[in-house]
């Protein structure tokens, strides 16, 4: 049996853990505070600080934790144990498409050189480089904006916090939580030789934030919030939100899909939102009029 160790029991890490367990992996996940996490059947939860035995046993290692000012937290604590892990044959690292920086709306792909525009994305590039040193298959997954059940525009609309910000020709790349789990599982199960591969996990249609708000409202059968020009909305944004909106790029994933032999289950936000609505048990309001 293959043993998967995941550093990070967050939103995407949990989805990968469940998918891997269903596929027959023995799965262990770490947490800084395991007592605060809900247990998941047949998935072992251990403290981050005490992961040495799990590292020694692991055949596959997935890192979902973001780097901090001191660098990658997993390498900072467990680099020696990972170097000594004799069973390890695959490492996966969750990065971000933010490392491509601002491309003035142009396209980037897996071979585009990083051009980080913030300290946060510079740290991501440094972490990617740090993981490249291990003599096994190392897959770096650059993720677009993550959404899925419990983390979608439906939640903002229901809470009354959704904003329909309009910035002409400004598009975002997204990836559904379940496509992340699906893609990682495909990557883990292939017989990859030692070396680094870059994969872009973004759906097939970069789209404006406003379009996603309108579609989510349509599926809920409610009126979308009034449009707000970006020049007005930016004054109320957090620094992190401003950094996202200050960059504009379209992310291609054709090479990723070809290399892994997959197609996204949710190729655009429309299929993704519909699936979320159905999973949540709600009625999709297909007969609702298109919002203005």
Give the pLDDT confidence of 189-247 residue by residue, as tens digits: 999 999 999 999 999 999 999 999 999 999 999 999 999 999 999 999 999 899 889 99
- How many residues are recorded in the chain? 292
Contact 247, 171 (CB under 8 A): no
The architecture that CATH gives domain 3-148+174-206+250-266 is: 3-Layer(aba) Sandwich (3.40)
Cα distances (angstroms) measured from residue 187 to each of 196, 265, 277: 12, 16, 28
Q: For residue 113, give both structure tokens.
A: 């050189």
Please, which pLDDT band fits residue 286 given cuts at 50, 70 and 90?
A: low
pLDDT score of 33: 85
pLDDT score of 292: 36
> Per-residue pLDDT for 36 more than 80?
no
Tokens 């007969």 — which residue? 287
CA pair distance 264, 226, nearest whole angstrom: 32
Please, which pLDDT band fits residue 1 given cuts at 50, 70 and 90?
A: confident
Please, which pLDDT band fits residue 288 given cuts at 50, 70 and 90?
A: very low
pLDDT score of 287: 44
Which helix (H) or strand (E) segment is 127 a member of?
helix 119-131
CA pair distance 237, 93, nearest whole angstrom: 29
Percentage of the chain with pLDDT > 70? 96
Backbone angle region of 104, left / alpha / beta, with phi > 0 → left and psi within -120 to 50 → alpha: left
CA pair distance 138, 54, nearest whole angstrom: 19
Please, which pLDDT band fits residue 282 given cuts at 50, 70 and 90?
A: low
- In 3D space, the residue among 149, 106, 68, 69 whose CA is nearest the CA of residue 250 turns out to be 106
pLDDT score of 290: 41
pLDDT score of 291: 37
pLDDT score of 32: 87
pLDDT score of 285: 56
CA pair distance 218, 231, nearest whole angstrom: 26
Quote the DSSP letter at residue 49.
G
pLDDT score of 41: 83
**SS percent in the chain: helix, strand, coil, step 5:** 40, 20, 40
What value does the mean pLDDT of the chain take? 94
């Amino acid at each position: 049996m293959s043993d998967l160790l995941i550093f990070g029991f967050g939103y995407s890490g949990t989805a990968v853990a469940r998918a891997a367990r269903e596929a027959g992996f023995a799965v262990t996940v770490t947490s800084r505070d395991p007592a605060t996490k809900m247990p998941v059947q047949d998935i072992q939860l251990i403290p981050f600080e005490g992961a040495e035995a799990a590292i020694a046993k692991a055949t596959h290692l997935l890192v979902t934790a973001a780097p901090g000012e001191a660098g990658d937290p997993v390498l900072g604590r467990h680099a020696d144990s990972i170097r000594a892990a004799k069973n390890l044959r695959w490492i996966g690292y969750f990065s971000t498409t933010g490392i491509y920086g601002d491309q003035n709306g142009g396209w980037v792909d897996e071979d585009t050189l990083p051009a980080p525009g913030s300290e946060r994305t510079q740290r991501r590039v440094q972490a990617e480089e740090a993981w490249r040193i291990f003599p096994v298959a190392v897959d770096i997954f650059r993720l677009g904006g993550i959404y899925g059940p419990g983390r979608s525009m439906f939640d903002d609309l229901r809470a009354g916090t959704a904003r329909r910000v309009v910035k002409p020709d400004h598009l975002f790349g997204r990836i559904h939580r379940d496509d992340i789990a699906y893609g990682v599982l495909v990557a883990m199960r292939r017989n990859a030789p030692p070396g680094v591969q870059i994969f872009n996990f973004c759906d097939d249609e970069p789209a404006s934030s406003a379009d996603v708000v309108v579609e989510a409202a349509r599926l809920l059968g409610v009126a979308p919030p009034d449009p707000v020009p970006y020049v007005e909305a930016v004054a109320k944004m957090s620094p992190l939100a401003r950094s996202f909106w200050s960059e504009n790029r379209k992310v291609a994933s054709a090479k990723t899909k070809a290399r892994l032999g997959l197609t996204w289950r949710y190729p655009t936000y429309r299929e993704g939102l519909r699936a979320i609505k159905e999973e949540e048990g709600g009625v999709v309001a297909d007969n609702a009029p298109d919002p203005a």
